[in-house]
Structure 1
Amino acid sequence: MLWNRIQKELNRQEMSIYKLAKITGIKDTTLHNYKKGSEPSFKNMCKIADALDVSLDVFRKENKTDE
């Protein structure tokens, strides 16, 4: 699941969903929906990747292994 990789990065950087929401401008309720399985838009994935300072490819690779 895509959220698993996001969560790994949040844990690695000791960042909360609330802080990610503040950095990205994405509502924390939206981020919680992603955690529950909703698919983020490309625009929001870019914001998340930028906030976590990782490449979008990191999330793409994780998604492929989850299928």
Structure 2
Amino acid sequence: MLWEKIKKRADEQGISIYKLSKIADIPNATFYNYRNGSDPSFKNMCKIADALDVSLDYFREES
């Protein structure tokens, strides 16, 4: 699941979801929508990948 990959990478880097929301310039509530199953837009996925210093391919890889 996409949310699990976001959370795992943020945890590995010691970044809270709140801090990630600030770095990525995405509202904190939006991340909780993702946690509940909403799919991010391509624009937001790019912001998240940049904030977590990973390529978009990271989110495509199987866990």
Paired positions, count: 63
SS of 2:39's partner is coil
Match of 1:20 in 2: 20
SS of 1:15's partner is coil
Higher relative contact order (CA 8 A, sep 6+): 1
Task: Give a deviation string over 1:19-58, Cα, whole Å, max 9, x none.
Answer: 0111111000001100111000000000000000001001
For the residues of structure 2 that align with 1:35 and 1:14, how far apart are their CA atoms? 18
Stretches of structure 2 lacking an aligned partner (at least 5 in a row): none
What is the TM-score when the length of structure 1 is the normalising length? 0.88
For the residues of structure 2 that align with 1:58 and 1:25, how far apart are their CA atoms? 20
The CA RMSD measured in Å over matched residues stands at 1.0
Match of 1:36 in 2: 36
For the residues of structure 1 that align with 2:60 and 2:27, how far apart are their CA atoms? 23
Higher helix share: 1
Stretches of structure 1 lacking an aligned partner (at least 5 in a row): none
Instruction: Give me the identity figure in percent.
Output: 63
- How far the C-alpha of 1:61 sits from its partner, in A, is 1.5
